[in-house]
Chain A
């Protein structure tokens, strides 16, 4: 996929002016509310006409002010998952799901409704009215409805905002699975750093209608170590656990981690706050923490009163967040050997 966007739009006092091209399949658009994310989404989908510029998807111009091209939303084949699902209230789940499918030329369809319904786990809901669905179910149906119209690109406008924490993490695996399995590129719009990191690889950062930065999701998280209230969070993908007394042991790279929370068979995603990783210069003699990992300092970043220490531990990578005073006292430098100490209860399972 190659998506080239160069547009300008003025709405009252607000002006949006962006110029970027994308080839990555999992892209994020990150920015605070009012930064123009939603305006951009409406422009890309064809629901709002830009003042000037052009939008080209895989060589096909969707909008070109100079050549007077402005394809309608129905001609663009760009799917949208809205923040509030917007399921058609007079149709049941099945008819909602098939709405786009029935309007897609057969040669464009790349999978059957049954396959999507299965991946999204919607079999038992098909005959239900949409007003009886929970927030998470509604969003899954909305995603299925959009995927079944087999768009060339899906725009997701804060699809997880408004869902509670647990629901959010229930839905993310579905989102990832279905988009990966059917190979549909997407632009994920969000103001939540965590969602952006879980969903995307490449991120465009917006502020006041302008593109401020373009970087990887990981890089964005590291840069925001100083500004994010919660600091940096390590995301660890851990396989099926083994019982370890009344705790659980997970393989992580070449080492083992001891956690309080049991996970499920297959992949589990855990969050570990960087500030929960304590550094010792030497192996402590005795500690209540269950994880003592000998590591090497591979990088130092951040600023102000928060320093991120990148640690390489037997193949795995971990960020510890400490204060500058500790860096000076322990004389932490690149290449130095330290011991990272983590409590078994510091890990939080996301999904």
Chain B
């Protein structure tokens, strides 16, 4: 019953590619944002917090449209992008950016929870032992929030696999270029007689998500053992 066309396989590969790229690309920024929010008292913290969390409450379509306004040819960054000969809309890059922005709050939230759980007195102890802030970041905060980072990456990866609204606006639905699994399913459901094909892709989607969960559980367990 699971029959996949070459186009489906392309969509699966694209989904994995987009989700992986979006997660890895966001990771350093997500870690940085969480660090700023938890451990520093920079001015404008509340604003940063709001901006980071906004995509979580906004409809993805709105996020996609805002991104279109930013990255479109006549958008804010349009002149800069054309100068660099870069095209974001209707490309794979656009799909990655859409996924990254939509999944970012989930990543930051997870890492923050982990960082909030680090006893401040470990940091005090490290300081009295002569460690500078970057040293503490690398030797105490990073290892102690390892599980939270992993959880955040899992969430974000899963969210990216399912990203639809922002992607279809910014990157379109171009088979082989930006058509990921959700977009392919959408297309099938709009095609007469495409139901069974849509179901096949749904099953693939369930399988993929399950594998992500399994891998994350296994890694978390090995973290715990250490």
Contacts and interface: CB of A to CB of B under 8 A. Distances in A.
Interface of A: 45-47, 72-74, 77-80, 82, 84, 86, 88-90, 99-100, 103-104, 145-146, 149
Interface in B124-142: 124-132, 135, 139-140
B29 interface: no
A146 B129 contact: yes
Contact of A103 (B122, B129, B143, B226): B129
A72 B140 CA distance: 18
Contact of B140 (A46, A74, A79, A88): A88
Nearest to B118: A89
A68 to B, nearest CB: 20
Contact of A79 (B121, B124, B128, B144): B128
B148 to A, nearest CB: 13
B127 A86 contact: no
A90 B125 contact: no
A174 to B, nearest CB: 19
Does more than half of chain A's interface fall in helix, strand or loop, or is it mixed? loop
Contact of B127 (A74, A90, A104): A74
Does more than half of chain B's interface fall in helix, strand or loop, or is it mixed? helix
Interface residues of B, number: 18
Interface string B82-123: 000000000000000000000000000000000000010110
Nearest to B146: A90
A189 to B, nearest CB: 14
14 contacts: A73-B124, A73-B127, A74-B127, A74-B131, A74-B132, A77-B130, A80-B125, A82-B124, A86-B124, A86-B125, A100-B129, A103-B130, A103-B135, A149-B128
Given A74-B129, A86-B121, A89-B122, 13 more contacts: A47-B124, A72-B127, A74-B127, A78-B128, A79-B128, A80-B124, A80-B125, A82-B121, A88-B126, A90-B226, A103-B135, A146-B128, A149-B130
A99 B126 contact: yes
A149 B129 CA distance: 6
B73 to A, nearest CB: 49
Contacts of A146: 128-129
A73 B128 CA distance: 5
B226 A82 contact: no
B132 A82 contact: no
B144 A90 contact: yes
Contacts of A74: 127-132
User: Which one of B130, B131, B139, B226 has the greatest number of beta carbons of chain A within 10 Å?
Assistant: B130
